[in-house]
Structures are given as structure tokens and as C-alpha cells.
Amino acid sequence: MRGKVFVLGLVLTVLMAFCLASVSFGISKKPKEEAPPPVEEAAPAIDVAAEAQAIRDLSAQWMEAENARDGATISNLFAPNGTTIFDGEIHEGQAAIDANREEEWTENPDFTIGWTTTAVEVAASGDLAYERGTWTYDPDGPGEAAEESGEYVTVWKKMDGQWRVMVDAGTTVKAEEGVEKEEAPPEE
């Protein structure tokens, strides 16, 4: 029995010595306090109203350039991989868009065009927007040809800090057609 008491005493002594050593020498250190995570800089807030106004301003510059036959200004508004779609006619890429515009100007040298932006929506990210509106086009200006009108949508993308046209699409709306109305389903 004496042996058991000796062993028990020895074990208790070793345990106490270990506990004291742990406290004294820092063996059982508190977990290292981690530094707070770095504060991420918040992305600058996007002023969507200001971006929408920038789109409206660019659209107005585009219309002025169109009527002044200023191809360089118009080309600079388009993304290199931009696309135009008008009543089924599609032109993809800067060269095709420029060639089509020059052809239109040659065929109709006295034309006038105008449009009115009716809506601009800018994504919360501030790098994508669309513009909707109505347009009028007179192929011979004050001449005899009938004026055409229609609607358009233009998709803008911010590239290297500048708004560029990705897609410009429009369609002619004939006066007698007007806006299509949804019809009620046929009765059974």
C-alpha cells in the first residue's frame, strides 16, 4: 500500500510542478490575439443620377455629330466591338458601323435626324446603362420624302472610365401601326 501512496504522491507532485511551471513560464499561453482584419476601403459610391446625366449628354453630342456629319466623334462613342441593329440590319464592329454610316450619308446627304431620350437606367455598379427613346429621320431634309419615326434602345458600357456604346438598336414605327396592344386570349 505504501507503494501506491508513494506513486500517487509522486504523480500529484509532478502534476503540481507542471501546473506551476505552466503558469510561471507561460507554457500554457493564452491564445494569441489576432489583429482585427484590415478595413477594406469601400468602393466609391456611384452617383447613378450623375451617370445617367452623362449618358444623356453623350447622346446629345452624338446627335449633334450625326447632323454635322462628324464621323470621328461618333466612332469615338462606340466600343471597338460595338453593334448596331436597325430593322433587321446588323453591323458588328467599328469598321462595319463606320462603313454603314458613310454609306447612309452618301445616299442621303441632306438627311436630318433627331431623337429624344425618354429613359436612362444605370446599374448600381456604375459600369452599365441603357438608354431608351424615340427618333425621327427625314432622308432628304426639307425635300419631298416622308419623315420616318421610331424607337431605340442603346446599351452603354463604361470602359477605361469612358461610356461607350455597346449596342444601338432601333425600329421604325409606322404611323398607322402605333404601339401594339396586348390582345385578350381567344374565348373557348
pLDDT in tens, 127-163: 999 999 999 999 998 889 999 999 999 999 999 999 9
Rounded CA gap, 136 and 120, in Å? Answer: 19
Overall average pLDDT of the 166-175 stretch:
92
Question: In whole angstroms, what separates CA 135 from the centre of its chain?
Answer: 24
Residue 41 pLDDT > 60, yes or no? yes
- Residue 35: predicted pLDDT: 72
pTM higher than 0.85, yes or no?
no
Helix (H) or strand (E) holding 159: strand 148-159
Work out the burial of residue 126: count CB atoms within 10 Å of its CB; fewer than 13 is exposed, 13-18 middle, 19 or more buried. Answer: middle
pLDDT band at residue 8, thresholds of 50, 70 and 90? very low
Share of the chain above pLDDT 70, in %: 72
Give residue 15's pLDDT. 44
Give the mean pLDDT of 118-135: 97
Cα–Cα distance, 170 to 149 (Å, whole number): 10
- Which DSSP state fits 173? -
Predicted local confidence at residue 131, as pLDDT: 98
Query: Would you state the cell numbers that stand for residue 125, as one nine-digit string?
Result: 455598379
- Which tens digit of pLDDT belongs to each residue from 60-81? 999 999 999 999 999 999 999 9
Query: Which whole number is the average pLDDT over 103-111?
Result: 94
| Residue 71 burial (C-beta neighbours within 10 Å; 0-12, 13-18, 19+) | middle
Predicted local confidence at residue 186, as pLDDT: 58
Please provide the average confidence, as pLDDT, over all residues in the chain: 83
Architecture of the domain defined by 48-172: Roll (3.10)
Q: What is the percentage of the chain residues whose pLDDT exceeds 90?
A: 64
Q: Are 165 and 82 in contact (CB under 8 A)?
A: yes
The length of the chain in residues reads 188
